[in-house]
């Protein structure tokens, strides 16, 4: 699921907290949620979404129980990567839209804590 976070439209803690809870309870805690940064274009001229707000939204989503939350449209940000839901270590490092490194083996085992991640990934 992707949410374009737009200043003055849907950029409140309350709105994003409600979305996170709904995803968690109705779709499950393993549902990926992408919080995407808005940039002004065409007839909509609100300023770009502050990265600090996206980071706050990320924290809210994780606190609601979501295991796989991402920040998008912020190249090089650490939250564009995938982290192990058990040990928190980096599993998949992304550079733009490409996978730069994987710390998960072909059997979907975390290389750090050896947790079985088959319920979350298909490689």
Within this chain, do residues 76 and 93 fall inside the same structural domain, yes or no?
A: no
Structural domain of residue 94, as residue ranges? 86-123
- In the predicted model, what is the mean pLDDT of residues 22-38? 98
Within this chain, do residues 56 and 92 fall inside the same structural domain, yes or no?
A: no
Within this chain, do residues 12 and 71 fall inside the same structural domain, yes or no?
A: yes
Structural domain count of the chain: 2
Q: Name the nearest CA neighbour of 35 among 2, 75, 62.
A: 2
Q: Name the nearest CA neighbour of 60 among 81, 79, 84.
A: 79
Within this chain, do residues 19 and 72 fall inside the same structural domain, yes or no?
A: yes
3-state secondary structure of 13: helix
pLDDT digits (tens, 9 = 90+) for 37-92: 999 999 999 999 999 999 999 999 999 999 999 999 999 999 999 999 999 999 99
Contact call for residues 64 and 20 (beta carbons, < 8 A) = yes
Sign (positive or negative) of CA dihedral 119, 57, 75, 10: positive
Contact call for residues 16 and 57 (beta carbons, < 8 A) = yes
The average confidence (pLDDT) of the chain is 95
Beta bridge partners of 33: 69
Q: Name the nearest CA neighbour of 46 among 38, 54, 56, 34.
A: 38
- Beta strand 69-72 with 33-37 is parallel
Within this chain, do residues 35 and 13 fall inside the same structural domain, yes or no?
A: yes
Within this chain, do residues 9 and 68 fall inside the same structural domain, yes or no?
A: yes
What is d(CA 19, CA 14) in angstroms, rounded to the nearest whole number? 9
Within this chain, do residues 96 and 55 fall inside the same structural domain, yes or no?
A: no
Within this chain, do residues 20 and 74 fall inside the same structural domain, yes or no?
A: yes
């Amino acid at each position: 699921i992707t949410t374009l976070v737009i200043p003055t439209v849907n950029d409140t803690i309350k709105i994003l907290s409600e979305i996170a809870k709904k995803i968690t309870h109705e779709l499950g805690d393993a549902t990926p949620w992408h919080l995407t940064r808005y940039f002004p274009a065409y007839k909509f001229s609100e300023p770009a979404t502050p990265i600090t707000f996206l980071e706050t939204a990320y924290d809210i989503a994780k606190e609601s129980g979501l295991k796989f939350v991402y920040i998008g449209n912020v190249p090089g940000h650490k939250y564009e990567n995938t982290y192990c839901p058990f040990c928190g270590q980096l599993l998949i490092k992304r550079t733009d839209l490409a996978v730069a490194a994987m710390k998960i083996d072909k059997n979907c085992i975390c290389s750090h804590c050896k947790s079985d991640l088959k319920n979350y990934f298909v490689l």
